[in-house]
Amino acid sequence: MRRVLVTGARGFVGGAVTRYLCSKGVEVVALVREDASKGRTDLPMSVITVPFDISSVEGYAQFIPKNDYDVFYHFAWSGSAGSARADVALQLDNAKWAVDCLRLAERLGCKRFVGAGSIVEHETMAAAYTRGNKPGLGYVYGGGKLISHVMCASVAADVGIDLICPVLTNAYGPGEVSPRLVNTTLRKCLQRESPQFTSGTQNYDFVYIDDVARAFYLIAENGRPFNEYLIGSSTARPLKEFLLEMQKAVAPDVEFIFGDIPFTGIDLPLSAFDCSVTERDTGFCAEVSFAEGACRTMQWIKEQETE
pLDDT tens, 59-103? Answer: 888 888 888 899 999 999 999 888 999 999 999 999 999 999 999
Does residue 182 sit within a domain?
Answer: no
Q: How high is the mean pLDDT of the chain?
A: 94
Render pLDDT for 205-256 as a digit per residue (tens, 0 to 9).
999 999 999 999 999 999 999 999 999 999 999 999 999 999 999 999 999 9
Note the pLDDT of residue 268.
95
Question: Is residue 104, in this structure, part of any structural domain at all?
Answer: yes
Check residue 301 and give its pLDDT: 95
Question: In this predicted model, what pLDDT tens digit does every residue of 10-21 receive, in sequence order?
Answer: 999 999 999 999
Q: What percent of the chain has pLDDT over 70?
A: 97
Q: Is the dihedral of CA 262, 168, 91, 29 positive or negative?
A: positive
DSSP 8-state symbol, 34:
T
Q: How confident is the model at residue 45 (pLDDT cuts 50, 70, 90)?
A: very high
Kind plus residue range of the DSSP H or E element containing 299: helix 290-306
Q: What is the pLDDT of residues 165-208, one digit of tens each?
A: 999 999 999 999 888 999 999 999 999 999 999 999 999 999 99
Q: Is residue 237 domain-resident? A: no
Pairing of strands 3-7, 71-74: parallel
| Long-range contacts at 140-145 (CB < 8 A, ≥ 24 apart) | 140/85, 140/86, 140/87, 140/88, 140/91, 141/79, 141/80, 141/85, 141/86, 141/91, 142/118, 143/91, 144/90, 144/91, 144/92, 144/94, 144/95, 145/95, 145/117, 145/118, 145/120, 145/121
**Residue range 40-45: mean pLDDT, rounded:** 75
Q: Which residues contact 46 (CB under 8 A, 6 or more apart)?
A: 22, 27, 28
Closest C-alpha among 267, 268, 266, 269 to residue 134: 266
CATH of the domain at 54: 3.40.50.720
For residue 196, is it within any domain? no
Average pLDDT over residues 117-141: 93
Domain that holds residue 9: 3-168
Tell me: pLDDT of 27 over 80.
yes
What is the model's pLDDT at position 36?
A: 54
The Cα–Cα gap between 292 and 168 comes to 19
Q: Are 168 and 212 in contact (CB under 8 A)?
A: yes
Residue 35: band (very low, low, confident or very high) from pLDDT cuts 50, 70, 90 = low
SS (H, E, C) 215-231: HHHHHHHHCCCCCEEEE
Instruction: Tell me whether residue 296 is in a domain.
Output: no
Between 20 and 263, whose confidence is greater?
20
Domain count, the chain: 1
Q: What would you measure as the largest C-alpha separation in the chain, in angstroms?
A: 57
Handedness of CA 58, 64, 69, 73 (dihedral sign): negative
Does residue 193 fall inside a structural domain? Answer: no
What's the confidence (pLDDT) of residue 39?
A: 46
Q: Does a structural domain hold residue 275?
A: no
Within a domain: residue 163? yes
Q: Is the pLDDT of residue 40 over 80?
A: no
Task: Please report, in angstroms and rounded to a whole number, the separation of the first and last CA atoms in the chain.
Answer: 37
190, 302 Cβ separation under 8 angstroms: yes
Confidence of residue 41 (pLDDT cuts 50, 70, 90): low
